[in-house]
Amino acid sequence: MKVLILETADTAQERVVSLIAQTMRDKPNAVLGLATGGTMLPVYEKLVALNKSGGPSFRDVTTFNLDEYVGLGPDHPQSYRSYMNDVLFGKVDINLQRTHLPRGDARNPEDEALRYEAAIAQCGGLDLQLLGLGHNGHIGFNEPTSSLKSRTRIKTLTKETRDANSRYFRADETIPTFAITMGVGTILDARHCLLLATGTQKADAVAAMIEGPLAAVCPASALQLHPKATIVIDMAAAAKLKLLDYYLHVHPDGTAREIV
Ligand code: GLP
């Protein structure tokens, strides 16, 4: 695990953008796993700016998002498909046909989950999986106690997650109870996992993920098993790490050296 600690949220986001851009430069037809949530909004904003100012092109890139709410069709304003179209896909030179999210309105969500898992495999797997972190340690919508070997499937959202995400819904809207999410095992199959967490409200989950036991109660701790996981955090999110000085010593200024 590479733990890159940047001074501010802004510099942490920039580091993530440069790692994504590096992947796209190395492999112009990269398969990118993408994430949603508030943490990613400035990342996509910076990625759009980079793309517009001559940065790497999305023309040959394929994307698979982590998850989608069951019951929301692609046109629903709170669907993750709408989020991605609004903040990234509609603003860069990507071929929409190569952007994938599970269909939240599929007649049979279980079948849709299987189809999605197979589609990822058919594209040769994920070169880079971008991840946010839930307050309870979830990645994607893999809530605590998710099997660490799980594949894409339906998960019931916790009350905590529904409350945290209620800010995106109107007061008269019902927040979905279920989601289709890549499994922890699906995520671990990505060739590189890149997680971004910023702010003090993520400090407990960050500590559990990096220094806690490998445990299904903190699904993000499964990244401890990954041969190439990069965790990018700001100082606020790093506040509860016991080995903070060590990470800062290994990667001063959040610079990823090859020796870990
Ligand atoms: C959602 C998403 C996750 C995301 C998490 C954190 O529940 N399914 O993929 O990482 O929330 O969201 P935020 O960045 O808004 O804190």
Per-residue pLDDT reduced to its tens digit, 146-200? 999 999 999 999 999 999 889 889 988 889 999 999 999 999 999 999 999 999 9
Phi, psi of 48 (to 5 degrees): -65, -45
pTM: 0.96
The response to whether residue 89 sits with its C-beta less than 6 Å from ligand 1 reads no
Catalytic residue list contains 51: no
Output b/e per residue, 94-110; b: 16+ Cβ within 10 A.
beeebbbbbbbbbeebe
- Per-residue pLDDT, 251: 85
Dihedral sign for Cα 64, 70, 74, 77, please: negative
Distance 56 CA to ligand 1 centre (A): 26
Residue 257: pLDDT above 70? Answer: no
- Per-residue pLDDT, 122: 98
Instruction: State how far the Cα of 69 lies from the Cα of 86, in Å rounded to an integer.
Output: 17
Averaged pLDDT, 213-232: 98
Catalytic residue list contains 65: no
Residue 191's identity, in one-letter code, is R
Residue 260: pLDDT above 70? Answer: no
The response to whether residue 201 sits with its C-beta less than 6 Å from ligand 1 reads no
Pairing between strand 99-100 and 153-156?
Answer: unpaired
Averaged pLDDT, 195-217: 98
- Per-residue pLDDT, 256: 56
What is the atom index within ligand 1 of the atom nearest the CA of 201? 16
Catalytic residue among 14, 51, 67, 165: 67
94-118 per-position pLDDT tens digit = 999 999 999 999 999 999 999 999 9
Distance 133 CA to ligand 1 centre (A): 6
